[in-house]
Structures are given as C-alpha cells and as structure tokens.
Chain A
C-alpha cells in the first residue's frame, strides 16, 4: 500500500465549477502538505503548502488539512481551462529530504 493515495481521475468539470482534489496518507510523521500542478511534459509547480490542520487560501485555491483523519484537499474555485493539468499532493516529514507524492489527479476544465 502506498503511503499517499490519490485518485488518478481523470476529472472533467465545466468552466466555473468548484473542483475538489483529495489525498489520504498513512504516515503520521508527515508534517508539511504541498500541492503541485504539473502541465504535460513540464516540471511540477508548487502551488501551496500548509503545516497545520485547517484551511489556507491563496486566490482561487484553498488547501485543507485534517491531520486527525490523515486527509488533505485542494479546492479550486471558478475553475478555468488553464487549470487543466495534473495536480499532485506531496507530503514532507521535515526530517528526510524527500517529498512523497501522490499519483496525481488529471483535471480537465471544459468550456
């Protein structure tokens, strides 16, 4: 079983919809929770990171962490076609160097 589980999608939504992307994890040592956006054949782009349980907002993006349930989410409001990409959650313990990624959810926002 992978340390981080993420629904691979694809997820198709109409423009303007609210998108919810989720990851679950099993290792309680993870302390930091990141969301990356990756366009096809490009490098992952850091969108947001959070440390504690609760919500963090940045423009149209809201990251939510529930450490007690080991569940993290990314919400995208007013989705745009330019949001079409693969979204990867990434978790970090704060001790080892590596990021542990989810498999990524492919999002398609249609006109």
Chain B
C-alpha cells in the first residue's frame, strides 16, 4: 500500500539558512499534519491543512510557514534556522479532517542545523 512520502530524508543546514521540507500524502488523503520530534522526545504538533487551507496550528515558530497545494502535497518552509531546530520532522495524512484518529506518518526528514 502507498504510504506518506517525505523528501528529503536528511538535510544538513547552517544556522540562519533556510530549509524546505516536502510531504506527499497517501493518495485520496486530503488532510496533512506536520510534527516535530526532538531527540528522545515525543512528536509535537506543528500545523495541519485540509483542502489546501490551514486547519489547525500548534507550537510552530513564526520563522516557519507551511502550505498545501492543489495536488494535496505540503511543504514546510523554515527560515533563520537555529541549532534547536535540529529534529525529525514528520508529515502525516488522514483520509479527511474528521478522521484525525487515523493519522499515517511518513518516514520523516532528519534536519541537522550546524
């Protein structure tokens, strides 16, 4: 079965640089979620999109922005990167926003900020 696709899988950036993470949801899933997982921590919700509109916002820094496109893929844009942004970034998708209990996660993008 098709799963959530994330790219790149690994990313190394310098402080103050910009990064863009991409997420391709499971086919026919229209809701996308972004989470950040620090070392040894549980995933923390950042933001979600339904039908290309922002649905919910969590602990996402103002330096980060995200959007969902017409083909339902989503991009997380991170600017002025800080050392503390080093983490695993997961994208998840669900069949629709009313089925948020069925969030399927991608393999993650490991971001390292030097």
Q: Interface residues, chain A, CB within 8 Å of chain B?
A: 32, 34, 36, 41-46, 49, 51, 88, 92, 94, 96-104
Q: Complex formed: what's the CA distance from A41 to B103 in Å?
A: 18
Minimum distance in angstroms from B5 CB to a CB of chain A: 11
Q: Does A43 lie within 8 Å of B97, measured CB to CB?
A: no
Distance between Cα atoms of A42 and B55 in the complex (Å): 26
The answer to whether A96 and B56 touch across the interface, beta carbons within 8 angstroms, is yes
Interface of A is mostly: loop
Interchain CB contact under 8 A, A97 and B48: yes
* B34–chain A nearest beta-carbon distance, Å: 10
Contact B105 A98 (CB under 8 A): no
Contact of A103 among B31, B41, B104, B110 (CB under 8 A): B41
In the assembly, what is the distance between CA of A104 and CA of B97, in Å? 25
